[in-house]
Amino acid sequence: MGDHEEPISDQYQCELGIDCESDSDKSSDYGSDANKYDFEELELLRMQKDKKGPGFKIKTLKTKHNCEDAFENPRAKTKTLAQYFKSKVQNNPKYKIKDMKLDLKNQFSLNEHNSTLKRAKRIALQQLQGSFLDDYNRLEAYANEIRKSNPGSNVVINLSKDAMAEGKRRFLRMYICFNAMKVGFKQGLGPFIGLDGTFLIIARGNYWWLLHKIGLLEAVKTVLPLSNHRFCVRYIEANWSKGIKISGEMKKYLWWSAWSTYEEDFKDKLKNLGELSVDATKELLRYPPQNWCRSYFDTLCKNQMVDNIFTESFNSWILEAKGKPILKMLEDIRIKVMNRLRETEEEARTWGGEFSPNCMKLYAAYLKVANLCTVHFNGETGYEVSEGDDRHIVKLVEKKCTCRSWQLTGITCPYSITTLKYKREDPMTEISW
């Protein structure tokens, strides 16, 4: 330093390149050989505490030097790394070692051993254990805040009975249903719920073993005895192909069978599949058709889905939040759902008519087929409509067609569209709400 600079006390001395000497340095190779270095050449940065504030003043800064790149830093010890990664681990307890390693390499050009990073993560988690416990201790307050700010909402927190018997409180599960979601589901949505095996296990509580023992289908009958149950065809496809060799053509017939809306069409598709492989057909029929084929679906719910992709997409949608501490996770999901509802509402305001774009897309496809249909006669039994070799009976009063598409979707099918046009009526007026 020059004569015009005030001396820097040892307490605040901080120099990159030489740093402040510590007891550990004296016993290290660096500390023992310190005398042979020219510190004036090594010194890159010198700072001094600012007397007028809480910060520091940079007194010396050398931006050019001849030092070689260093990929190891003796000061990057486990505790230092734990402190650096603490906030990252807090936001994501599943933060992987490989991601920690990549972080250090990108930020500081450091290569640390996996064992060092594992110890650092363990220390960070131990330090955060208190904050994790605090989150669970604040759950009841969080639940009360939801009940207060969203009157009518259901919030239930379950504790482990086994732990409580031992005089302990251990979180088991939590259920939240906002009143707006509850009212909206009852008034504006079809009675259709997507479930995972995981969700169902939770629903049965301590009887989770029952699901493993009797299977998902029987378990649904136990948990939801009055509900119709559908399989996810994607799940069937994945398991169907495990025991035998399944070709791409056979998979097509699986999906065509699932999409069949009436029994005769389903049997035709199954026959075509049998011509390719009898064993594959027998294996497929191990899954009851009433649980995965539209031909046998109940028509009370106007939904013809044969897969559970919307539930799986929701799980991936909240995947990032699921790895966070519980309160942070709940808040992230709440905000995502709230924003999604707002976006959906704004999108609905842009619709050109009374029906959704997906509804109109399906109606447009039906309309093209309807242009190829012919009405042959009418009578007390209804109107007979043909399209190629296919013939169906349409009963307008009952809003039914033997193709069952109208009943399944609530959207007028090609045959009902043809019939309504024959009567000079607007088919769109018969689309179900």
pLDDT digit string, tens, across residues 280-320: 999 999 999 998 999 999 888 888 889 887 777 777 888 87
Tell me if residue 305 falls in helix, strand or coil. Answer: coil
CB 118 within 8 A of CB 99: no
pTM over 0.75: no
Helix axes 139-149, 114-137, angle to 10 degrees: 50
Whole-number pLDDT of residue 414: 96
**Token pair recorded at residue 219:** 């378990």
Contact 153, 112 (CB under 8 A): no
pLDDT at position 264 is: 95
Tokens of 282: 């027998």
Q: What is the pLDDT of residue 219?
A: 67
Distance (Å, whole) CA 17 – CA 292: 69
The residue ranges of the chain whose pLDDT is under 70 are 1-44, 65-75, 129-130, 189-190, 195-220
Write out the H or E segment, with its range, that includes residue 378: strand 374-379
Q: Give the pLDDT score at 16.
A: 34
E-strand ranges in 161-304 read: 171-177
Q: What is the pLDDT of residue 213?
A: 44
In this structure, is the dihedral angle defined by the CA atoms of residues 381, 412, 309 and 349, taken in order, positive or negative?
Answer: negative
Q: How far apart, in whole angstroms, are the C-alpha atoms of residue 148 and residue 271? A: 59
pLDDT score for 24: 44
How high is the pLDDT of residue 364? 95
Model pLDDT, residue 152: 93
Q: Which ranges in 260-356 belong to alpha helices (H)?
A: 263-276, 278-284, 309-317, 319-322, 326-349
What tens digit of pLDDT does each residue of 199-240 get? Answer: 444 444 444 444 444 455 666 677 778 778 888 899 889 888
Bridge partners, 173 (sequence order): 158
Beta carbons of 429 and 416 less than 8 angstroms apart:
no
Q: Write the Ramachandran bin of 215: left for phi over 0, alpha for psi from -120 to 50, otherwise beta.
A: left
DSSP H or E stretch at residue 131: helix 114-137
